[in-house]
Structure 1
Amino acid sequence: MNAVGVAQEIIRPEVLQAVIVSALGSLAKSVTLAIDEVVVDVAPAHYLDAMRCLRTASGCQFEMLVDLCGVDYSEYRDGLWEGARYAVVSQLLSVNLNQRVRVRVFAHDDGFPVVPSVTSIWRSADWYEREAFDLFGIVFDGHDDLRRILTDYGFIGHPFRKDFPLSGHVEMRYDEEQRRVVYQPVTIEPREITPRIIREDKYGGLH
């Protein structure tokens, strides 16, 4: 509902796409439609300027960042992906104009992925960026408190990376003799479990 209590009509995706293309200009690498949603791809060098524009430009006014996450594309399309490995994807919402947009930025360096922090634009990005750092190892330049948020203090690695082992690298337990929590290499042997499928010839009365 807007200020006078009248529901805003949802703008058609192709119309919003044209508005965003006009607003961003050369700041966007591409502005496409995917499943009836506008998707903006930007380079890291233009990321902050593009996000500020999306927040303030007439016809955009995305005053809310409702989600931000990391993505590891290394196994995308069964390993046929040839672009950069790590991306940050944000979901923006304009409450006033009743519209949404998705923004994606890829980190240039797969070995040390870095993208600018948008906490100066949306403070709600704080914990989202910490989560992406914790789980994917993506560094957010300009974040004023970038530290792990979900894993334990002694955790090694980034568990949402596709090459991270399911069992992890270390395990923790309470040692009765030392009377403290200790860390040690994982003792569980990695194994692949294949479910057993039971077929019945007359299941459900079918012959």
Structure 2
Amino acid sequence: MSETATPYTTSPEAIQASLSALLGERAQSIDIERGEVTLVVAAADYLAVMQTLRDAPQTRFEQLIDLCGMDYSTYGDGRWEGSRFAVVVHLLSVSLNHRVRVRVFCPEDDFPVVASVSELWASANWYEREAFDLYGIVFEGHNDLRRILTDYGFIGHPFRKDFPLSGHVEMRYDAERLRVVYEPVTIEPREITPRVIREDNYGGLH
């Protein structure tokens, strides 16, 4: 790099304006919070918008660096009135040195489905499998959508807010039958609320 060259940087406000001009009505909202830009799009527009974000010269998001599921069923102490499940994606443009968070809500709570972006970014493959495994979100068009973290015979999706903390079944090795067996869980469900300390200068910190 020459002495006069400077890294290309873009302010959140400039990214917000660029996305608004590029996407138009396909952007349901574009907000800035703590210096980060969050774009919300409808499930019907999700795949097309993601391809635009990857290919358009003013965005050029070459890398998908994270994708996860979300369950909003108890968000805001139960005051949430929107769709229950969402997918959140973090994109990075190496060439333009900027980032964006994309959120898409699944239209149906009973059978949450959004398009897969694994054909656009190979890194989405395992992330989408993880969101399917933990939240039950189906990624339409994914060519190998199966569990990735839980056991083959696992029942349910453990990151859903209504999944019991102790699970539904427990596994053990049966010495008489010489194999692993699954049985209804015997642990009594309970909740432990951590103690929150709000004393000033707690622990000598100033």
Counterpart of 2:55 in structure 1 is 56
1:105-142 deviation digits (Å, cap 9, x = unpaired): 00010000000000111111000000000000000000
Please, what TM-score do these two structures have when normalized by structure 2?
0.90
* Amino acid corresponding to residue 161 of structure 2 in structure 1: K
Secondary structure, in 3 states, of the residue corresponding to 2:45?
helix
1:62-101 deviation digits (Å, cap 9, x = unpaired): 0100000000001111110000000000000000000000
Counterpart of 2:173 in structure 1 is 174
Counterpart of 1:13 in structure 2 is 12
* Amino acid corresponding to residue 144 of structure 2 in structure 1: D
* Amino acid corresponding to residue 18 of structure 1 in structure 2: A
Q: CA deviation at 1:191?
A: 2.5
How many residues in Structure 1 have an aligned counterpart in Structure 2?
197
Pair 1:101–1:193, CA change in 2 (3 A): closer
Q: CA deviation at 1:193?
A: 4.1
**Maintained 8 Å contact 1:64/1:94:** yes
Q: Structure 1: how far apart are the matches of 2:193 and 2:71?
A: 26
Q: Structure 2: how far apart are the matches of 1:7 and 1:64?
A: 22
* Amino acid corresponding to residue 81 of structure 2 in structure 1: E
Q: CA deviation at 1:9?
A: 3.4
Counterpart of 1:83 in structure 2 is 82
Secondary structure, in 3 states, of the residue corresponding to 1:131?
helix
Q: Structure 1: how far apart are the matches of 2:169 and 2:87?
A: 27
1:29-178 counterparts in 2 under 5 A? 29-178=28-177
Q: Structure 2: how far apart are the matches of 1:55 and 1:196?
A: 45
Q: Structure 2: how far apart are the matches of 1:120 and 1:193?
A: 42
1:144-181 deviation digits (Å, cap 9, x = unpaired): 00000000111100000001000000010000001000
The higher radius of gyration belongs to 1
Secondary structure, in 3 states, of the residue corresponding to 2:37?
strand
Q: CA deviation at 1:195?
A: 6.9
Counterpart of 1:201 in structure 2 is none
Pair 1:180–1:93, CA change in 2 (3 A): same
CA RMSD of aligned residues (A): 2.2
**Maintained 8 Å contact 1:175/1:182:** yes
* Amino acid corresponding to residue 112 of structure 2 in structure 1: P
**Maintained 8 Å contact 1:27/1:49:** no
Secondary structure, in 3 states, of the residue corresponding to 1:183?
strand
* Amino acid corresponding to residue 132 of structure 1 in structure 2: A
- Of 7-16 and 149-158, more deviation after overlay is shown by 7-16
Aligned: 1:26 with 2:25: yes
Q: Structure 2: how far apart are the matches of 1:194 and 1:40?
A: 34
* Amino acid corresponding to residue 74 of structure 1 in structure 2: S
Please, what TM-score do these two structures have when normalized by structure 1?
0.90
Pair 1:193–1:17, CA change in 2 (3 A): closer
Pair 1:176–1:138, CA change in 2 (3 A): same
Q: Structure 2: how far apart are the matches of 1:30 and 1:144?
A: 30
Q: What are structure 2's unaligned runs of at least 5 residues?
A: 197-202
Q: What are structure 1's unaligned runs of at least 5 residues?
A: 198-203
